């Protein structure tokens, strides 16, 4: 059988590189992944927060950020996000 | 005057992990600093992080409540229940 890779091992390989985080609601984040834990709470650096509203998309820059894993839906490694 | 440099140990400890950016490390580094706490509702609380726990329950000092970028309230001390927290962001370089 081919060697398995666990989902969280894939995310572990992304540490140090850019990642695009899509939340359950209309929010997205991009940043450099510094670390994460078993709940997929994530520490990001050089973060941009995107919020999609009926009026359009707003962007906000953040310093080092701990993102609560509770609302995370999808992670896309190596992506600069929606732009 | 001998023993200036200790001899290298036979069994040196395993190398530290190259990444020390885990959520726990972040929280250790950010206590006492100015932070922005955003709730899932979109409301921001800016203040000095006095302490927090594994649930992301947070105690803030000198807290300002921001709604849509406008200060709507100021509190000397504030407790935020962790289930509402979307993120904790450093308001200054760490």
Contact B19 A35 (CB under 8 A): yes
Contact B87 A65 (CB under 8 A): yes
What is the pLDDT, as a whole number, of residue A80?
A: 87
pLDDT, tens digit, for every residue of A7-40?
A: 999 999 999 999 999 999 999 999 999 999 999 9
Cβ-based contacts of A66 with chain B (< 8 Å): 23, 26-27, 30, 87-89
Residue B7: pLDDT above 90? no
Contact A63 B91 (CB under 8 A): yes
Give the model's confidence band at B93: pLDDT under 50 very low, under 70 low, under 90 confident, else very high: confident
Contacts of A64 (CB under 8 A, 6+ apart): A34, A43, A44, A45, A47, B26, B30, B89, B90, B94
What is the pLDDT, as a whole number, of residue B31?
A: 95
Chain A residues with CB-CB distance to B under 8 A? 15-16, 25, 27, 33-37, 41-43, 45, 47, 51, 62-68, 70-71
Where does residue A36 rank: exposed (0-12), middle (13-18), buried (19+ CB within 10 A)?
buried
What is the pLDDT, as a whole number, of residue A9?
A: 92
Residue A68: pLDDT above 70? yes
Cβ-based contacts of A70 with chain B (< 8 Å): 83
Say if residues A75 and A8 touch (Cβ distance below 8 Å). Answer: no
What is the pLDDT, as a whole number, of residue A15?
A: 96
Q: What value does the mean pLDDT take over residues A3-10?
A: 89
Closest CB from B23, B36, B83 relative to A36: B23
What is the pLDDT, as a whole number, of residue A60?
A: 95
Residue B84: pLDDT above 80? yes
Question: pTM of whole model > 0.80?
Answer: yes
Say if residues A30 and A55 touch (Cβ distance below 8 Å). Answer: no
Cβ-based contacts of B19 with chain A (< 8 Å): 15-16, 34-35
pLDDT, tens digit, for every residue of B31-75?
A: 999 999 999 999 999 999 999 999 999 999 999 999 998 999 999
Nearest residue in B to A28, CA atom: B86
Interface test with A, best of B30, B87, B88, B93 (most A CBs within 10 A): B87
Q: How far is CA A65 from CA B1, B5, B41, B76, B80, in A?
A: 48, 40, 18, 24, 17
């Amino acid at each position: 059988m081919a060697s398995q890779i666990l989902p969280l091992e894939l995310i572990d390989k992304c540490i140090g590189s850019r990642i695009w985080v899509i939340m359950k609601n209309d929010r997205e984040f991009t940043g450099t992944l510094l670390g994460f834990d078993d709940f997929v709470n994530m520490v990001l650096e050089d973060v941009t927060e995107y919020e999609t509203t009926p009026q359009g998309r707003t962007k906000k820059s953040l310093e080092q950020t701990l993102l609560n894993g509770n609302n995370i839906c999808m992670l896309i490694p190596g992506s600069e996000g929606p732009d | 005057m001998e023993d200036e440099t200790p001899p290298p140990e036979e069994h040196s400890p395993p190398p530290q992990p190259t990444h020390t950016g885990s959520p726990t490390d972040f929280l250790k580094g950010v206590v006492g600093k100015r932070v922005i706490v955003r709730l899932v509702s979109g409301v921001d609380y800016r203040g000095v992080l006095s302490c927090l726990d594994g649930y992301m329950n947070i105690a803030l000092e000198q807290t300002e409540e921001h709604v849509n970028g406008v200060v709507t309230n100021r509190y000397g001390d504030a407790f935020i229940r962790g289930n509402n927290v979307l993120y904790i962001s450093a308001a200054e370089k760490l």
